[in-house]
Amino acid sequence: MSEVLLSIGNLTVGYSADHKNILFENLEIKLRAGELVCFMGSNGVGKSTLIRTLAGLHPPISPINKIEVDPKHIAVVLTDRVNAVNMTVEELVTYGRYPYLDWNIQLNDRDQEVIERAIDLTHIQHLRSKKIYELSDGQLQMSMIARALAQDTPIILLDEPTAHLDLNNRVEIMNLLRNLSRKENKAILVATHELDLALQTADVIWLANRNKKIITGIPEDLVLNGSFDETFQFKGFDLKTGKVFHEAWRNKSVRLIGEGHEYLWTKNALERNGYSVAETATTKIKIEKSNESLTWVIDDYKNCSGIKDLLYNMTAKIFPN
Amino acid sequence: MGGLLMQTLFRNPLAGPDVLGLSSGASLVVALTMMIPGFGSSLFSHSFTLALAASTGSTVIFLIVLGFSQRVKDNVSLLIIGLMIGAATSSIVSVLQFMSRAEDQQYYLVWTFGSLSSLNWGEIQILTLGTLVGVAISIFSVKSLNGWLLGDHYATSLGISLKNSRILIIIGTSILTGSVTAFCGPIAFVGIAVPHLTRLVIDTTNHKLLIPAVIMCGAAMMLLCDILSRFPGSTTILPINAVTALIGAPVVVWVILRSKKVRL
């Protein structure tokens, strides 16, 4: 087991006004070097509050009423918007060095080096002199991560860094965090809603459940023992196959013959349209592949040039009127 | 200068000593010392008392506004509260004026017009001292001022003590506003307008550069207004407040127009 960087026992988190609003009770928090932890849970369960508590920005209810955080130990990326006119990306990243500077904020060579490295790691060299209001959401998020990296801390906490981003940016950010934890031996905690990404990148998952506890474990274990299903109470999503559940409302099954991606996507289209795919069905669809072109053949006689065509002919065949 | 500090502290481009009622707070206490019979007339000739009175006034108002700022999280409501406080103090001043003797009123009215010229050496020394202290405090706060720009949470996560720096910034602003208001009168609009003008000229958010730039820009602006108020070739001297507002108002309008393009 790698080095434990953060360990807090018996932590209770919430809003202390008459202690009624307790979000988590008696948590045992451990973050280890080199581990990427994805923190998941439904909206409103208190993920952001826990992150702010760990960062010392929000008072915990117990064991003590204030966590003292060394800014050289923990860096955070929050959902707070930064809207300062005129601030450039480079200035933003420079903020990461503030814990190391006196009131005169004079950067030395080492500070410059760390800033350059943070900018390199996040691939934002081309943005450095841009104003932050000119950035896209993804670029801004990358810059905020660069700022946290410039802080040069063993622990980084991130609150939904992938919210509002497109798939490409989400994958990029999760991969970056994955690599950082491994190569820089940092402990990284990410609150996220990206179930599929988290399952594929996290070393450890924290699941916030409804009993004010957090279940921890490696992703695959939590999938198989049903913790995910219990936490999220999926409505129409089957986690074990990773698919949205489709009702076979046409009450009609088809036998699909083919292979590879063509097979998977044809199956997807059929299930999405209310067919069930079964080996024993009488209606047969065969996917034929000949030099780059694909043909779908229904019951050996009707050729279709695409999946749209196939679906059209299926309805025509099954409901001839 | 005070305007820059407040705009950063409140993260609102329209904050400034006079909008948030600081100047009117200073005016109120000055009016009190000038117009309450027996109390004022013996003391107000002493310029240091005047500075102290104005500083106290602006500090008190600032503390009230800041107290509200802990309760209301959004800046627009805070700004409205500041404006209301300003209006309330101004009306108290009107009541005082109504009840006081004519000659005291005259003194006060002249004071509110604002003037750069009617200072003797002793007064200038006190003003210089106040300004130096205020500027020193702000220069010492550049790191936390920059931190404020990122927002409370980020500033704290960078190890900047919000409480201490907030208090320091309040004290700095109050001393600056107080001493200037005491000797030159409640000068309108310069506080809001100058920081925006400066940002137009130098393109940075770093207070290490902004502070000296704002000081120079502010001084130049006041000199310009003073020259304009003297009507070259004539002996008439306009109240400097009229001139500053004449220049300041279009600047504020411009900021609002610009903030549609740029999120402030």
Residue B118: per-residue pLDDT:
58
Q: How many other CB atoms are there within 10 angstroms of residue A147's CB atom?
A: 28
The whole-number average pLDDT for the span A134-161 is: 89
A152: closest chain B residue by CA: B158
Task: Match domain B2-187 to its CATH number in 1.20.1530.20, 3.50.50.60, 1.10.3470.10, 3.30.479.30.
Answer: 1.10.3470.10
The reply to whether residue A83 touches residue B203, judged by beta carbons under 8 angstroms, is no
Give the closest of A52, A98, A104 to B160, CB-based.
A98
Contact status of B206 with chain A (Cβ, < 8 Å): yes
Q: What is the rounded distance in angstroms from the CA atom of residue A196 to the CA atom of residue A36?
A: 15
The nearest CA of chain A is from the CA of B110 a distance in Å of 39
pLDDT above 70: percentage of residues in chain B: 61
Contact status of A269 with chain B (Cβ, < 8 Å): no
Q: Which residues from chain A sit within 8 angstroms of residue B212, using beta carbons?
A: none
Q: pLDDT band at A155, cuts 50/70/90?
A: very high
Instruction: State ipTM.
Output: 0.72
- One DSSP character per residue, chain B reads -HHHHHHHHHT-TT--TTTTTHHHHHHHHHHHHHHSTTTHHHHTTSHHHHHHHHHHHHHHHHHHHHHHHHH--SHHHHHHHHHHHHHHHHHHHHHHHHHS-HHHHHHHHHHHH--SS---HHHHHHHHHHHHHHHHHHHHTHHHHHHHHH-HHHHHHTT--HHHHHHHHHHHHHHHHHHHHHHH----SHHHHHHHHHHHHS----HHHHHHHHHHHHHHHHHHHHHHHTTTT-S----HHHHHHHHHHHHHHHHHHHHHHS--
Greater pLDDT, B161 or A227 = A227
Residue B40: per-residue pLDDT:
47
Sorted by where each begins, the domain ranges of chain B are 2-187
Of B181, B39, B173, B34, which Cα lies nearest the Cα of B114? B181
Task: Give which of A98, A151, A153 to mutate to test B binding, by max B Cβ within 10 Å.
Answer: A98
The whole-number average pLDDT for the span A174-200 is: 89
Write the pLDDT tens digit of every residue in A81-110.
Answer: 776 667 888 888 888 888 888 777 788 888
Give the closest of B147, B199, B203 to A98, CB-based.
B147
A96: closest chain B residue by CA: B158
Q: How many other CB atoms are there within 10 angstroms of residue B219's CB atom?
A: 12
B12: closest chain A residue by CA: A84
A54: closest chain B residue by CA: B157
The reply to whether residue A103 touches residue B141, judged by beta carbons under 8 angstroms, is yes
The reply to whether residue B199 touches residue A83, judged by beta carbons under 8 angstroms, is no
Q: What is the rounded distance in angstroms from the CA atom of residue A128 to the CA atom of residue B179?
A: 41
Contact status of A55 with chain B (Cβ, < 8 Å): yes
For residues A216 and A38, is the Cβ–Cβ distance under 8 A?
no
Considering B8-17, B70-79, B172-181, the range whose residues carry the highest mean pLDDT is B172-181
Write the pLDDT tens digit of every residue in B115-149.
Answer: 555 566 777 777 788 778 878 887 888 888 788 77
